[in-house]
Amino acid sequence: MDVIPAKVTPKLVQEIDSLVEDGWYASRSEVIRDAVRELVKKMKAEKLEAAIKEDVEWGLK
């Protein structure tokens, strides 16, 4: 795996640590990987939705 350094606010670290302490995740890294996966999935869906909308608008012209 690659390591990607990132700066996060103390509040965000606290939230991440809370998820780990509550047992939702095994580590901070797992929280961050899951968050990035969800963001990528969301962005891909939005990109697909925009492409479909563009195709529909093109087809209606």
Tens of pLDDT along 29-61?
A: 999 999 999 999 999 999 999 999 888 888 887
The pair of three-digit structure tokens given for residue 20, joined into one six-digit string: 């780990």
Q: Which residues contact 27 (CB under 8 A, 6 or more apart)?
A: 20
pTM, full prediction:
0.79
- How large is the average pLDDT for residues 1-21? 97
Query: How do the domains of the chain map onto residue ranges?
Result: 10-60
What is the structure's pLDDT at 55? 87
Give the DSSP H/E element, type plus range, for residue 57. Answer: helix 28-60
